[in-house]
Structure 1
Amino acid sequence: MNFVSDGGSSPVPSLSRQFPPGDVNMDLTMCGLLVERAEELAQLYAEHGNWNEVKEVWFDERLSNRSTRGSSQKIYRVLTSRFKNAPRALPNPSVLPAIFDDCHTTRDKAQILYLYLVSDDSLVRYAVHEYVSRFMKDRPDSLNFSNETLVDILTRLEYSDGTSFDYAESTTRRWCEGFRSVLREIGVLDGQQSVAGASPSIGDIPLLVAMDYSYESDDDEWLTAPRGLLYLFQPENRWEELFDRVVSTGAWEYIELHGDLDVRPSDGPYSWPHDGGDS
Structure 2
Amino acid sequence: MTLRTDGRGVSLPSLDSTFSDDEVTMVLTRCGLLVDRAETLARLYAHHRDWTVVEEKWIEERFDERSTRGSSKGIYRALSSRFKTAGSELPSIVQLPSVLDRCETVRDKAQVLYFYLLEDDPLVRYTVHRYVDRLQESGVDGLGFEQETIERLLSEFHYEDGSEFDYAESTTRRWGEGLRSVLRDIGVLDTQQTLQGQIPNLGSTPLLVASGYSWEIHGDDWLSQPTGWLYLFQPDQYWDALAERVSDDPNWEASGIHGELRLQPVDDTYGWAEPWEGEV
With the length of structure 2 as denominator, give the TM-score of the two structures. 0.91
Residues 1:46 and 2:49 are matched in the alignment: no
Tell me, yes or no, if the aligned pair for 2:127 and 2:154 is still in contact at 8 Å.
Answer: yes
Tell me, yes or no, if the aligned pair for 2:131 and 2:143 is still in contact at 8 Å.
Answer: yes
Inter-partner Cα distance in structure 1 for 2:156 and 2:64: 45
Per the alignment, residue 237 of structure 1 pairs with 237
Inter-partner Cα distance in structure 1 for 2:170 and 2:93: 34
Per the alignment, residue 26 of structure 2 pairs with 26
Alpha-carbon RMSD:
2.0
Tell me, yes or no, if the aligned pair for 2:8 and 2:236 is still in contact at 8 Å.
Answer: no
User: For 1:36-57, what per-residue CA distance to the aligned partner results, in whole angstroms no more than 9, with x for missing partners?
Assistant: 1100010011111111111111
Per the alignment, residue 272 of structure 1 pairs with 272
Gapped runs of 5+ residues in structure 1?
Answer: none
Tell me, yes or no, if the aligned pair for 1:45 and 1:93 is still in contact at 8 Å.
Answer: yes
Amino-acid identity (%): 51
Pairs aligned (count): 270
Change beyond 3 A, Cα 1:66–1:265 = closer
Inter-partner Cα distance in structure 2 for 1:205 and 1:10: 28
User: For 1:178-198, what per-residue CA distance to the aligned partner results, in whole angstroms no more than 9, with x for missing partners?
Assistant: 000000000000111111001
Change beyond 3 A, Cα 1:64–1:209 = closer
Tell me, yes or no, if the aligned pair for 1:103 and 1:109 is still in contact at 8 Å.
Answer: yes
Deviation at 1:140, TM superposition (A): 6.9
User: For 1:224-244, what per-residue CA distance to the aligned partner results, in whole angstroms no more than 9, with x for missing partners?
Assistant: 111110000001111111111
Tell me, yes or no, if the aligned pair for 1:12 and 1:137 is still in contact at 8 Å.
Answer: no
Inter-partner Cα distance in structure 2 for 1:148 and 1:37: 31
Deviation at 1:248, TM superposition (A): 1.9
Deviation at 1:63, TM superposition (A): 8.4
Change beyond 3 A, Cα 1:249–1:155 = same
Per the alignment, residue 201 of structure 1 pairs with 201
Tell me, yes or no, if the aligned pair for 1:10 and 1:236 is still in contact at 8 Å.
Answer: no
Tell me, yes or no, if the aligned pair for 1:247 and 1:253 is still in contact at 8 Å.
Answer: yes
Change beyond 3 A, Cα 1:264–1:20 = same
Secondary structure of the corresponding residue to residue 256 of structure 1: strand
User: For 1:97-129, what per-residue CA distance to the aligned partner results, in whole angstroms no more than 9, with x for missing partners?
Assistant: 111111110000000000110111000000000
Inter-partner Cα distance in structure 1 for 2:185 and 2:52: 30
* Alignment of structure 1 residues 77-116 onto 2, 5 Å: 77-116=77-116
Tell me, yes or no, if the aligned pair for 2:247 and 2:253 is still in contact at 8 Å.
Answer: yes
Secondary structure of the corresponding residue to residue 273 of structure 1: coil
Inter-partner Cα distance in structure 2 for 1:122 and 1:256: 36
Per the alignment, residue 180 of structure 1 pairs with 180
Inter-partner Cα distance in structure 2 for 1:175 and 1:22: 17
Per the alignment, residue 164 of structure 1 pairs with 164
Inter-partner Cα distance in structure 1 for 2:259 and 2:177: 48
Secondary structure of the corresponding residue to residue 104 of structure 1: coil
User: For 1:186-228, what per-residue CA distance to the aligned partner results, in whole angstroms no more than 9, with x for missing partners?
Assistant: 0000111111001100000111111111100124322111111
Change beyond 3 A, Cα 1:21–1:11 = same
Tell me, yes or no, if the aligned pair for 2:188 and 2:200 is still in contact at 8 Å.
Answer: yes
* Alignment of structure 1 residues 65-76 onto 2, 5 Å: 67-76=67-76
Tell me, yes or no, if the aligned pair for 2:66 and 2:72 is still in contact at 8 Å.
Answer: no
| Partner amino acid, structure 1, of 2:8 | S
Gapped runs of 5+ residues in structure 2?
Answer: none
Inter-partner Cα distance in structure 2 for 1:154 and 1:126: 9
Tell me, yes or no, if the aligned pair for 1:136 and 1:235 is still in contact at 8 Å.
Answer: yes
- The structure showing larger relative contact order (alpha-carbon pairs under 8 Å, at least 6 residues apart) is 2
Inter-partner Cα distance in structure 2 for 1:122 and 1:230: 16
Secondary structure of the corresponding residue to residue 161 of structure 2: coil
| Partner amino acid, structure 2, of 1:92 | S
Per the alignment, residue 255 of structure 2 pairs with 255
Per the alignment, residue 60 of structure 1 pairs with 60
